[in-house]
Amino acid sequence: MGDYVRLDVDDGVGVVRLDRPPANAIDLQLADELRAAIGEAADRHDVGALVLWGGERIFAAGADVKAMAEWGPDEVRPSVDALGAACDLLGAIPKVSIAAVHGFALGGGLELALGADLRYLSEDATVGQPEVKLGVIPGAGGTQRLTSLIGPGPTREIVYTGRLVTAEEAHSLGIAERVLPSDRVFPAAVEAARAFANGPRQALAAAKAAVQAALVSPGPQGIARERELFLNLFGTADQREGMRAFLEKRDPKFRSN
């Protein structure tokens, strides 16, 4: 698909692979290619769920600092807008996404992982938002998504200090859903994504939208949105099949996939 990002599809799972050695540093081109790959995956019916993967050594070490060091606001805006758009698109598409993280996910790399629905980390993975040590802050949604995940206090401490966070601590804080041996991270992410892809896609899309509503408009408005999403699933082929299968004591065969 591009020089740095490709989309591979197998059995309903779209793997968005970052490949910019040595550290998958995120520049404008990589961010644009990410956005394009995610957009293509969103449009393809043969993709039911996504896995973001930077390879077995590193997820993404953040922005290309060497290129940005002498930039001003106008020069840096296209790059951060492109990465932000890729992260936003991950949250907006009606498909479950999993970030499979080996090694480092720092700065923009963590922001990308935070854009996914779920994060699976290797036991030796390290994450963080170290931008303050460079005299800046996260700019592609890092402060916002971290606050939604772990609350303002822990987010302040991580962002203000710029310190690195181990996989174990990331799990305890709620940044990561699973921590696995290194050789199990990618296979486990693909396995989970395949289950989502072969599951009730309409219900999963509705569940994703309902959780997003809780973040954007908590309280009565979010509850009303959840109820609307729930009601709209009745009469769909998957709802009929899921409930019939339950009554007939068999595994459902969902059609939306």
Helical packing angle, 201-216 and 237-247, nearest 10°: 110
Paired tokens of 11: 């059995």
As a three-state string, the secondary structure of 121-147 is EECCCEEECHHHHHCCCCCCCHHHHHH
pLDDT on residue 93: 97
Query: In which residue ranges of the chain is pLDDT below 70?
Result: 1, 256-257
pLDDT on residue 162: 97
Q: Where are the beta strands (DSSP E) in the chain?
A: 5-10, 13-18, 49-53, 96-101, 104-106, 118-122, 126-128, 164-166, 178-180
Residue positions counted in the chain: 257
Contacts of 76 (CB under 8 A, 6+ apart): 68
**Residue 231 backbone phi and psi in degrees, to 5:** -65, -35
pLDDT on residue 1: 64
pLDDT on residue 2: 85
Paired tokens of 34: 């990410």
CATH number of 5-197: 3.90.226.10
Radius of gyration of the chain (CA): 19
pLDDT per position as a tens digit, 165-204: 999 999 999 999 999 999 999 999 999 999 999 999 999 9
Task: Decide: 205 and 92 in contact? Cβ < 8 Å.
Answer: no
Distance in angstroms (rounded) separating the CA atoms of residues 28 and 44: 24
Residues that are catalytic: 63, 108, 111, 131
Helix (H, G, I), strand (E, B) or coil at 225: helix
pLDDT on residue 198: 94
pLDDT per position as a tens digit, 132-158: 999 999 999 999 999 999 999 999 999
pLDDT on residue 69: 80
Contacts of 81 (CB under 8 A, 6+ apart): none
Amino acid, single-letter form, for residue 130:
P
